[in-house]
């Protein structure tokens, strides 16, 4: 179990560190302009390629090191896609602010138009990695990407339908329009479903630790920690905790600009 705790702490550190690195890159690029965002994505391509290479070579390696490397490879693939999104390079066909007083179905379609290319890329990667890793000895790279994918979809739905707390300070300049598609509300019907599913998934990963070998212990501990962190991120949309302080100290001072608009229509429970 010591290996499991070490893996969980490793996942916690990597979550914090990788999030901070991506935020630093996009915030420093904000100070230089659009060209800097494009350059950051292009310069980050080796991270994507190393991630894909690592995903491939670790599929047949069921050792403890193989599991760790598969986990890191999936994070590298995910991290580059998120950087491309936050840099405004891969977003959607209609990156414009939300319109007021439109039907809910139209609001959803307009919000989808701001992120459609990013979502389709993630779906393609999820399906591709699934077929690529079907039946392999070390599936933890795919499991890691799948947890990140479904947790992110859940988070975006909650932001769309409405939560009490939304932190827009970390939004980079290319995505300032996204905040107009968010909604401040007491709660929504997706939230209890989201946290229940994530909590159940984390418990399932923990249950798999019972009687597991060394490599599986590490793998399921990594997944359990990552899923629990995803559930925590959902709760931070509701609880008044200063989670932004985890990364704010490492970011450059923001440029003076108008605060993004967020819809305050009441919706949900």
How confident is the model over 223-236, as pLDDT tens digits? 999 999 999 999 99
Q: Residue 101 has what pLDDT?
A: 87
pTM here is 0.92
- For residue 267, give the nearest of 172, 189, 185, 182 by alpha carbon: 185
| Residue 26 and residue 250 in contact, taking contact as beta carbons nearer than 8 Å | no
CA distance 225 to 151: 13
Q: Is there a contact between 45 and 80 (Cβ–Cβ < 8 Å)? A: yes
| pLDDT at position 114 | 95
* Whole-number pLDDT of residue 261: 58
Distance CA 30, CA 16 (A): 21
Coil, helix or strand at residue 121: helix
Residue carrying structure tokens 């193989």: 66
Burial classification of residue 127, based on how many CB atoms lie within 10 Å of its CB (0-12 exposed, 13-18 middle, 19 or more buried) = exposed
User: How many Cα atoms sit within 13 Å of 81 on the Cβ side?
Assistant: 23
Cα 97 to its chain centre, rounded Å, is 22
**Could you read off the pLDDT of 15-27 as tens digits, one per residue?**
999 999 999 999 9
From the list 125, 146, 127, 142, the residue with the least C-alpha distance to 54 is 142
Altogether, the residues listed in the chain come to a count of: 269
Q: Could you give the C-alpha distances from 182 to 22, 159, 178, 203, in angstroms and in order?
A: 22, 5, 7, 30
For the cut 90, the answer to whether the pLDDT of residue 198 exceeds it is yes
How much is the pLDDT for 267? 39
Q: What does the alpha-carbon distance between residue 119 and residue 155 come to, in Å, rounded to a whole number? A: 13
pLDDT of 204 strictly over 60: yes
Give the integer Cα–Cα distance in Å for 218 and 100.
48
Tokens at residue 120, please?
Answer: 């389709």
pLDDT grade, residue 107 (50/70/90)? very high
Q: What is the pLDDT of residues 129-176, one digit of tens each?
A: 999 999 999 999 999 999 999 999 999 999 999 999 888 888 899 999
238, 242, 245, 246 alpha-carbon torsion, rounded to 10°: -50
3-state DSSP assignment of residue 251:
coil
CA dist., res. 75 & res. 15, Å (int): 9
Angle at 253 between CA 173 and CA 250, to 5 degrees: 100
Q: What is the pLDDT of residues 44-98, one digit of tens each?
A: 999 999 999 999 999 999 999 999 999 999 999 999 999 999 999 999 999 899 9
Residue 247 has a pLDDT of 81
Higher pLDDT, 252 or 199: 199
What confidence tens digit (pLDDT) does each residue in 241-259 have? 877 787 877 777 666 554 5
Tokens of 124: 């393609």
């Amino acid at each position: 179990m010591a290996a499991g705790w070490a893996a969980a702490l490793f996942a916690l550190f990597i979550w914090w560190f990788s999030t901070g690195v991506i935020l630093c890159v996009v915030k420093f690029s904000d100070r230089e302009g659009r060209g800097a965002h494009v350059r950051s994505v292009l310069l980050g391509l080796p991270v994507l390629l190393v991630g894909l290479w690592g995903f491939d070579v670790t599929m047949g390696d069921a050792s403890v090191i193989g599991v760790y490397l598969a986990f890191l490879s999936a994070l590298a693939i995910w991290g580059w896609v998120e950087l491309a999104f936050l840099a405004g390079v891969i977003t959607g066909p209609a990156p414009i602010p939300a319109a007021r007083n439109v039907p809910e179905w139209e609001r959803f379609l307009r919000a989808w138009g701001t992120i459609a290319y990013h979502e389709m890329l993630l779906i393609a990667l999820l399906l591709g990695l699934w077929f690529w890793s079907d039946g392999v000895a070390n599936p933890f790279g795919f499991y890691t990407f799948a947890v990140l994918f479904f947790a992110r979809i859940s988070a975006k739905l909650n932001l769309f339908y409405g939560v009490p707390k939304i932190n827009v300070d970390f939004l980079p300049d290319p995505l300032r329009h996204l905040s107009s598609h968010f909604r401040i509300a007491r709660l929504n019907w997706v939230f209890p479903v989201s946290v229940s599913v994530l909590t159940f998934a984390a418990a399932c990963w923990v249950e798999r630790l019972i009687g597991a070998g060394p490599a599986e212990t590490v793998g399921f501990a990594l997944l359990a920690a990552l899923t629990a962190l995803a559930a925590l991120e959902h709760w931070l949309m509701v609880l008044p905790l200063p989670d932004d302080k985890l990364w704010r100290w490492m970011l450059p001072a923001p440029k003076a600009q108008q605060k993004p608009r967020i819809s305050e229509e009441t919706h949900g429970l």
